[in-house]
Amino acid sequence: MRPLSPADPPVIGPYRPLAELGRGGMGRVLLCSGPDGRLVAVKLVHARLLGAPGYRDRFRAEVAATRAVSGAYTAPVIGADPDAPMPWLASVYVPAPSLGEAVSATGPLPEAAVRRLAAGLAAALRDIHRAGLAHRDLTPRNVLLAADGPKVIDFGIASAGGSSAEATGTPAFMAPEQAEGGPPTAAGDVFALGSVLVLACTGHGPFDGPGAMQTLYNVVHAEPRLDGVPAALRPIVTACLAKEPGDRPSPDRLLALIGQVTATARPWSPAVHRLIDDRQADLARLLSGTRPTVVEPARAPRRRRLPAAGAALTAAALLGLAVWAPWPGQARTSTPKPAASAASATPSPPPSWTLRGHTSWVMAVAFSPDGKTLVTASDDATARRWDVATHSQIGAPDRHPDGVASLAISRDGTALFTGGDDGYLRIFPMSGKGESSGLNLDNGSVGAMALAPKHGNLLAMETGGRLQLFPLAGKDKPPEAARVPSGNVTELAFSPDSRILAVGTTGTDRDLDSGNTKGVVELWDLVAKRHVTPDLTGYNGWIEGVAFSPDGHLLAAVGGDMVRLWDVTGHQPVGAPIRCRASCRSVAFSPDGKRLAYSDGPDARLLTTADRKQSGPTLTGHTGGITSLAFSPDGTLLATGSYDDTARIWQLTP
């Protein structure tokens, strides 16, 4: 759960917001309390979706249909207002981990628990289908393991009465007919149910491949991988995974195949029930007003959507940009470990200045080329400019309709590029004077962003987990962009000569939905137009940060609880991994390449690149995990952004 921003509405219909539960391609979900004290999950639709022709009419029809769904295994809809300025829908709140989170944290479920899960999901689909709906996205993250049994969430929205073009889904849990472009159907939900059961039994999906395209091919053409599925459950799973929709059982027939399930007061393993207890404890702390000292939220997996190329081209024409069309294609909480390079006792941290003004997480920081200005981007929907000498804010904030996740500053220091959860790339004048321009990418939130350092007119962005490259107007001709079919993208960095693009990812599709992510760094040669192999692997979480050394010989990448240095030419690790005490989320080289900074939970550490030993004291003072790092151009300052809603500027010792 994330704290609310002052920009959040004080009330939504009859409900009072308490915290943010999550966000995705459709909108945000807030935990709210009703007039009677009941807790509900309220989904707010993204403003950018409201301009789609007929969207409100479809949303209104879907709300009416979902109200008809009731049953023990769904979180029922209890209120909605499709005609509000920002349409919303409220459903019963279930404080429980998702199936994906539970399998990632505790391993596959026992056979008896999977049978109980199968019966609950079949009953939920029966109730959903009777209302004339198809779920269309039955995945491990949309199945909650509540204390009294499974609960299916997010059913119906944007499916009833919608077109097949609007159908989204996760490749590993998509039915063959939907993978080939067909609309979501009730039979497709049954296929997804079979895939979900395989993951519950084994920790992997039945059609997992090394990438989204191979997974989709396997869904359509390959036989399911069922090793690890108990023999007693294989007939049930096999029936669900029939390639032809007409060969799959209906939910009622599926319940008959499953048979009688033994009643129990605790349906899951003790480890899963401990997770449920943890969620209840988090809820109790929120309602009592208690807040943990250090905020280390788990990063939510990005949902993968097919790029809306037409919308991007149309919007790009308004900005005068040439658009390169891309191919379609949490960090896990780790047990704290001693940092390999950290001294057991270090001196006091150097002087620092705290920059206050943001009202939510500071997600990105960057110095201007002359080092006089620091820019910060925040989940409070603003980017702010700060005078480095006086540590004071310059002018009014640059605003987005939704949270700002990434930023880049042009090579000449005149333009600020920002990406937000609203799906827009915005370009603001660094002077603070004049109007901004905007590009609606229509492909999910804009996360990572990198500007080619040599040419300064090639912008790489992660949008909805996909990579997009934008050649901007300029005198220097950027390298002709190769087609980069990367999916599950999390972080980006250009080499100093702008030839190599490092692409951090969550790893394979089979791991994304289970939460068992093992990040990978891909290297792409944009001049030779090829994927430079092998990939850089060995992480225990998805890639949170990548950075090239100033000479381009080294690449630093962080993921899970480790930092790794790589020889770019030989694709070999340089030394052993550097272990963090908490999650590593950012990394940066000093301008002279002699030092490397990385985040370690709420702290920042600096290493001497030559010997990988800690340089100077640990930088302590943030009360929330550090999200981002940036050196000043002369290397004398380090800026940090944090989940504690502040940024800091640190004066470094030589």
Residues acting as catalytic residues: 137
Rounded CA-CA distance 61/7 in Å is 29
* Cα atoms in the Cβ-side hemisphere of radius 13 Å centred on 582: 19
Closest CA to 358 of 74, 643, 15, 54: 643
> Are 222 and 207 a contacting pair, CB within 8 Å?
yes
- In this structure, which amino acid lies at residue 560? G
Rounded CA-CA distance 4/6 in Å is 7
Rounded CA-CA distance 594/572 in Å is 20
Rounded CA-CA distance 584/573 in Å is 18
Return the CA Rg of the chain: 24
- In this structure, which amino acid lies at residue 551? D
Closest CA to 363 of 411, 414, 315, 405: 405
Supply 497's token pair: 């000569």
- Gap between the terminal Cα atoms of the chain: 40
> Are 373 and 394 a contacting pair, CB within 8 Å?
yes
Token pair 């962009």 is found at 481
Pairing label, strands 415-420, 587-589: unpaired
Helix (H) or strand (E) holding 485: none
* Cα atoms in the Cβ-side hemisphere of radius 13 Å centred on 279: 18
> Are 39 and 416 a contacting pair, CB within 8 Å?
no
Backbone angles phi, psi at 233, to 5 degrees: -95, -10
Beta pairing partners, 609: none
> Are 494 and 548 a contacting pair, CB within 8 Å?
yes
Bond before 633 cis per omega within 30 degrees: no
How many CB atoms lie under 10 A from the CB of residue 570?
Answer: 9
**Is 151 annotated for ligand binding?**
no
Rounded CA-CA distance 588/585 in Å is 11
Q: Which residues are annotated as a binding site for ATP?
A: 43
